[in-house]
């Protein structure tokens, strides 16, 4: 059950049925030490920061989510070339850290980024961010475990909702029951 003291973000509050996911929850704002920690993890390869960032997710899960309603934990995927360059997927590291909190869920990696995209943080126009990720994701391989599943999609930071919306659309095409999004931080929407 969601904490009634939480308020929806601006785009969620002002636009009905804008997003394909059921809800998006973040542990913090993308500012200060949180923003710096995410940047160091993501762009400087400081993988040890996944643990303290996941600790923020753990607190949010314990206060805002019912872990029993999820059947799959799905990290936002990287395109294979970017994964090779970076050496790891930060969303997968976070998902691995919190997986034990979900007794009925599997860590599912069938959501794939099927084409390269530009780095979203380098794009300042909201419409361009949406175009950048449109059609970039698909569920590949054995997706039967996702049929009618409750999915928790994990990302490090949400700003324009473009990436998590496209991931959700791909998951919905695969027949999932619902998608909730959990991120470490929520940035100011572009």
3-state SS, 10-25, equals HHHHHCCCCCCCCEEE
Of the candidate ranges 36-50, 92-106, 139-153, 163-177, the one whose mean pLDDT is the lowest: 139-153
Q: How much is the pLDDT for 10?
A: 54
- Is the per-residue pLDDT at 2 higher than 50? no
Which tens digit of pLDDT belongs to each residue from 107-123? Answer: 999 999 988 777 776 77
Res 133: pLDDT? 75
| pLDDT higher than 50, residue 58 | yes
Q: What is the mean pLDDT of residues 70-84?
A: 94
Instruction: Give percent of the chain above pLDDT 90.
Output: 66
Could you give the angle at the alpha carbon of 124 between the alpha carbons of 16 and 43, nearest 5°? 110
pLDDT of 8 strictly over 70: no
Q: How far is CA 83 from the centre of its chain?
A: 16
Average pLDDT estimate for 148-172: 93
Class (C level, CATH) for 20-186? alpha beta
Q: What is the per-residue pLDDT for 160?
A: 80
Q: What is the mean pLDDT of the chain?
A: 86
- The predicted-structure confidence for 94-108, as pLDDT tens digits, reads as follows 999 999 999 999 999
Enumerate the domain spans of the chain.
Answer: 20-186
Predicted confidence (pLDDT) at residue 4 exceeds the cutoff of 60: no
Q: Take residue 55 and report the two structure tokens written for it.
A: 């600790």
Cα 115 to the center of its chain, rounded Å: 18
């Amino acid at each position: 059950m969601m904490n009634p003291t939480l308020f929806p973000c601006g785009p969620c509050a002002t636009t009905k049925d804008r997003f394909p996911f059921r809800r998006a929850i973040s542990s913090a704002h993308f500012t200060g030490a949180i923003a710096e920690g995410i940047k160091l993890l993501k762009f400087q390869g400081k993988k040890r920061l996944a643990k303290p960032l996941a600790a923020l997710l753990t607190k949010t899960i314990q206060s805002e989510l019912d872990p029993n309603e999820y059947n799959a934990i799905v990290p936002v995927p990287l395109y294979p070339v970017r994964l090779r360059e970076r050496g790891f997927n930060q969303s997968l590291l976070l998902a691995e850290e919190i997986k034990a909190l979900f007794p009925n869920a599997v860590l599912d990696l069938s959501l794939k980024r099927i084409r390269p995209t530009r780095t979203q943080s380098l794009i300042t126009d909201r419409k361009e961010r949406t175009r950048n990720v449109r059609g970039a994701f698909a569920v590949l391989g054995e997706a039967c475990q996702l049929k009618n599943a409750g999915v928790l999609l994990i990302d490090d930071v949400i700003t324009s909702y473009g990436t998590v919306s496209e991931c959700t659309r791909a998951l919905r095409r695969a027949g999932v029951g619902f998608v909730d999004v959990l991120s470490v931080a929520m940035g100011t929407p572009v």
